[in-house]
Structure 1
Amino acid sequence: MKIFSFVVSACTLTSLVAAQATVITQNLQSCIGDGQFQLGIDYFPNKFTPRKYSPIFLPENQATLDMTTDLLEIEYFDYYKIVTNKYHNKTYLLYQCGATPPMEEVLSGRHQLVLPIPHKGGLAITETPQIPPLELLGLRQEIIAYIGDPQYVSSPCLNYAIDELGSVEVVFDPEDPWNSERTQELTDEFLSRHPEAIIFGGIFANASADRIMGVAETQERTNVATFDWISLYAALFNLEELSNEIAKETEERYQCSSANARSLSSDIEEDDRPVIFWADFFEGYNWSVAECPTWDHTYYCEYASHCGAHIISRPEDMGTQDEYGYWYLNDDEVLKLGKDADIFVFPSLFWDTVYEQKRDILDQFKAVQNKRVYDTQGGGPNAWYEQRLAEYDVVGNDFCAMVGLSNPNQDPPHTIKWLRNVFTGTVPEEGTCNVPENLDDQYVPVGAFCAPVEQLGGPDEGGDTEGSETSSSAPATHAGLALVSSILYVTLLW
């Protein structure tokens, strides 16, 4: 007599007699049942697939270049996966709950964390850019703590969870905000109460500290690769199918705006393309301007190339370097460099203050005279630093619209979200959270829709819905994708 174990959904129970082996078609959203684990079965049929980005704007001899995620790797084995953060040189062993972790790997001592998944111990975040990937995946309610000053959080629903529900603990001492030792004391105390929690740490975090999982998306070369780190969060909850879908659709929209810009600018000579001057002012240091020796040097260099525009880069012989390696230009230098640019982007909160202080200089800029100055406050005071990385497709739409190279026939037309004209725009108030519906819903970026220039009319069914944080047209939630939650484990005597 042979024993065959297999997996089948409840609605197909009548067909069990035809099955002779275990078949898992989607990553499990719950633990393997007692006595049901089998060696040799692939428990992770949905795996992280890194995006391979080939920028449309590159010259023909470089057009086949595939740029991918450099610093994040996930290796899959039958019932466990190893996540590697190459920036911090750390690995994390994630094994399907209900199985026994691979003891050879555990005893090797090489992994920073060994975790059963889907993770159930809660998440603590330390930087606001860690919020949107979790919200895009519908995992907002997995966040149980924010370690740091909550005034910089812009997510309406997370703020509601902090201020109204109290379901997100703030680990921070407002009386001693800059004392790292005090913050560590509070963090240790938090972990004593939540020993199974995971703390996401940024690039400056101690990646060897207790329960830390390092995040280093900002060190990737491209916007596409930066966004691909959504899969780190997804891997903890077996949501790779969803994260792959979101990453694919986001890149497709991003490529759409670049293709439109390329098509619309095909008859424009290189010397006639829009010119962007990107500069910020720091009291006591002077002007910090763009450095774009290559298109992939920083995110704003990429956006300019993405939209067929030129961005002015600081010449090597201009400016003064400080003790930290940053370069600054004085008033005369910044005027010489940027006064003839078509567009001035001031990536800061303080345009009004700087303009009053530097009016004599700034009024000589062509962009100021033509009222084509933009800051980064279109999404609110802090949203640029929180959500921009997760909405690079929307920012791409914005850049192309700002330089006049977005689809003029798109219906509805794209409304610039992130880049606010300082003369005509206003800084929006903080959004609201529709309670309780939005607490579990996936975040859906506003303004992501892009129609190719040859396509007239609005978005197809299932596209982005303007004006709402969440929408029924969003990608299927993890609950919808995880059909295995209704799967039965059955053993037949054959």
Structure 2
Amino acid sequence: MHLRYSTSLAALLALLNAGAMAATNTTVSTAGLQSTQCVASTASNDLYPTKSKVKYATGFSIAYHNTYKVLENRSTNNTYVLYQCGSTKPSVKNVSAFIPVPVNSSAAWATTAAIFLEALGVQNTVKNLGTAPSLVSACLQELLKDVIEPFNDSNSTDTDHQEQKNDVVFNMPGGQDTNTTNTVYSTEYLESSALGRSEWIKFFGAFFNAEERANKVFDSVDTNYQCFSTKAEKEYNDIRPVIAWTSYAGPTQYNNNTAYWQVSFANYKYDIVRDAGARMLNTTGKQSTMFSSSQAFLRALREVDIVIDESFVSYNYSTLLKNYGIADPKQANYSWVATGRVFRPDRIQSTSGGLGWFEAPVAFADALLQDLIGVAHPRFVKDGYKHIWFRNLAKSDPVTVVTASNCTDMYASRTNPAGSCSLIDFQSANPSDSDYSDVEQSRTHDLIYDVSKSEVINDDSSKQSAAAHLAGSTLAASLVAGALSMLALL
């Protein structure tokens, strides 16, 4: 996920120049769409019999009227009125944008927004996408060859012109977008639960009158998620390993040449770790705890069983240990080192290093939960679990590179990568397994680590330094795709 970037940062991205969009004769299904035609200005009947109701998400709301909808982004205090094309524009005060629906042309700056559109099967409306090289979706890559035009954000005039051609432009707050008449902010990354993030498909669906599709996709995700959570609680309540989400930022000009180490405990991570039959490492610092030394950082990881590294750099296991301050792993008294349970969510990548972690996991919470259960309990299925996004760095798991050649139907709805929970026979945790040999049993609460104020850096300037470090990292082209959203979650 990312904003419309400055020229200097855009240079790092090396956006593809796809040229003019090519016309296509592909017939796209209208199944699951309602009110696809414009109406007379006198229309007054209920045009939206199929409605979306928000169940988990707290960042947006939808209110339906006969010929229009009022969509509110509660995180940004923006209100959008979506009125049926042809009908009279409703009289609503304090509106950020009036947008006729269903929209025929759309654009997205964030990778997550693009994936929601693909999950809805409305990518035939997408005319422009941001950070094109970072997209991992095979079919969006295929469309970017000659159908979808990448945003040219190295030239603000060109970008403005591109945006103005669309009925709606999905962006993130804080960007440099000046075309407010068709800009819509999406903030799914601020949701406090994984299901809340996935429910934003209903937000996007409203612009295409695709409520039926959005409800169907989300209901399937919700049902599957609840099944995974229930089974994990039943099988693993007595053996819950401790998971820490960590990262390292080396000294650069962007952080005053001062390295820092970080433990993340965003709310959605709390929920999904618990639902996966594991425990979360918490600290008594602020939402994101940045440590000023590797020694302090490692003290916090003393009783951790599994580390999930989210550093904005790419490296092998030996480099991670070095960056974390572990000179000799054989002498290190850490369960996660002894058992080799160090993961990174970078298994799926684009050829330029873009991470699939910033795409489908947001839309498909059930697949994310399934994958995290596989991290916490690797033998939860009889034949062993094959991860979707997580890669065991200690075991040198390979990276899977997705290219346009992997696309079979570029206009098909994005397939949920989760397995059907009802068909999976969970294997109970066995304390004698080597995977659990160092796990403290019969503990269900999160692990709390009381940090010393002298050990941490948690002021606003450090977060700004983290953002600057990200912008200058060697993987900027791939990681900018989720940088700001990740910082908001850390």
Q: In 1, Cα distance between the equivalents of 2:158 and 2:262? A: 36
Q: In 2, Cα distance between the equivalents of 1:111 and 1:233? A: 18
Q: How many residues align?
A: 378
Q: 1:135 to 1:446 in 2, by over 3 A?
A: same
Q: In 2, Cα distance between the equivalents of 1:286 and 1:434? A: 39
> Could you give the per-residue CA deviations for residues 249-302 of structure 1, whole angstroms, max 9, x where no partner exists?
101111111111111024x2xxx53122321111123210133xxxxx432222
Deviation (angstroms), 1:421: 0.7
Deviation (angstroms), 1:100: 2.4
Aligned residue runs from structure 1 range 286-325, under 5 A: 286-291=260-265, 297-316=266-285
Is 2:15 the partner of 1:48? no
Which residue does the alignment assign to 2:373?
400
2:193–2:272 Cα contact (<8 Å) kept: no
Q: 1:439 to 1:220 in 2, by over 3 A?
A: same
Is 2:204 the partner of 1:273? no
Structure 1: 5+ residue runs without aligned partners? 1-24, 52-67, 174-181, 292-296, 457-494
Letter in 1 for 2:151: V
Give secondary structure in 2 for the equivalent of 1:30: coil
Aligned residue runs from structure 1 range 70-109, under 5 A: 70-102=58-90, 104-105=91-92, 108=93
1:187 aligns with one of 159, 165, 170: 159
> Could you give the per-residue CA deviations for residues 197-232 of structure 1, whole angstroms, max 9, x where no partner exists?
311111323688422111111122211111111112
Which residue does the alignment assign to 1:459?
none
Aligned residue runs from structure 1 range 367-382, under 5 A: 367-380=336-349, 381=353, 382=355
Aligned residue runs from structure 1 range 333-482, under 5 A: 333-348=296-311, 349-352=313-316, 353-357=319-323, 358-360=325-327, 364=332, 365-380=334-349, 381=353, 382-404=355-377, 407-408=380-381, 414-424=385-395, 425-433=397-405, 438-451=409-422
Q: 1:87 to 1:361 in 2, by over 3 A?
A: farther
Q: In 1, Cα distance between the equivalents of 2:366 and 2:159? A: 35
Which residue does the alignment assign to 1:227?
198
Structure 2: 5+ residue runs without aligned partners? 1-30, 252-258, 428-490
2:114–2:129 Cα contact (<8 Å) kept: no
Deviation (angstroms), 1:92: 1.2
Q: In 2, Cα distance between the equivalents of 1:447 and 1:227? A: 13
Give secondary structure in 2 for the equivalent of 1:84: strand
Give secondary structure in 2 for the equivalent of 1:70: coil
Which residue does the alignment assign to 1:236?
207
Q: In 2, Cα distance between the equivalents of 1:383 and 1:27? A: 28
Deviation (angstroms), 1:33: 5.4
> Could you give the per-residue CA deviations for residues 146-188 of structure 1, whole angstroms, max 9, x where no partner exists?
23x32322122222222x2143233222xxxxxxxx5x43322
Give secondary structure in 1 for the equivalent of 2:115: helix
Q: In 1, Cα distance between the equivalents of 2:38 and 2:308? A: 53
Is 2:110 the partner of 1:127? yes
Deviation (angstroms), 1:332: 1.2
1:26–1:46 Cα contact (<8 Å) kept: no
> Could you give the per-residue CA deviations for residues 25-62 of structure 1, whole angstroms, max 9, x where no partner exists?
98634224569x642x21100111112xxxxxxxxxxx
Is 2:151 the partner of 1:170? yes
2:102 aligns with one of 118, 128, 137: 118
Q: In 2, Cα distance between the equivalents of 1:355 and 1:78? A: 60
2:250 aligns with one of 262, 278, 283: 283
2:107–2:163 Cα contact (<8 Å) kept: no
Q: In 1, Cα distance between the equivalents of 2:269 and 2:129? A: 29
Deviation (angstroms), 1:454: 6.8
1:276–1:345 Cα contact (<8 Å) kept: yes
Which residue does the alignment assign to 2:120?
137
Q: In 2, Cα distance between the equivalents of 1:276 and 1:111? A: 43
Structure 1 length-normalised TM: 0.70
1:207–1:213 Cα contact (<8 Å) kept: no
Which residue does the alignment assign to 2:37?
31
Q: Percent identity?
A: 20
**Which stretch shifts more, 72-81 or 282-291?**
282-291
Q: In 1, Cα distance between the equivalents of 2:197 and 2:163? A: 29
Is 2:227 the partner of 1:264? no
Q: In 2, Cα distance between the equivalents of 1:112 and 1:306? A: 37
| Aligned-pair Cα RMSD in Å | 2.9
1:344–1:374 Cα contact (<8 Å) kept: yes
Larger RCO (CA under 8 A, 6+ residues apart) = 2
Deviation (angstroms), 1:314: 2.5
Q: In 2, Cα distance between the equivalents of 1:27 and 1:276? A: 42
Is 2:126 the partner of 1:160? no
2:142–2:410 Cα contact (<8 Å) kept: no
Letter in 1 for 2:37: C
Letter in 2 for 1:368: V
Letter in 1 for 2:120: L
Letter in 2 for 1:289: V
Q: In 1, Cα distance between the equivalents of 2:111 and 2:46? A: 35
2:141–2:403 Cα contact (<8 Å) kept: no
1:200–1:215 Cα contact (<8 Å) kept: yes
Deviation (angstroms), 1:335: 2.1
2:199–2:363 Cα contact (<8 Å) kept: no
2:167 aligns with one of 185, 188, 197: 197
**Which stretch shifts more, 252-261 or 200-209?**
200-209
Letter in 2 for 1:28: Q
Q: In 2, Cα distance between the equivalents of 1:26 and 1:395? A: 26
Give secondary structure in 1 for the equivalent of 2:76: coil
Which residue does the alignment assign to 1:12?
none
Is 2:310 the partner of 1:331? no
Letter in 2 for 1:46: T
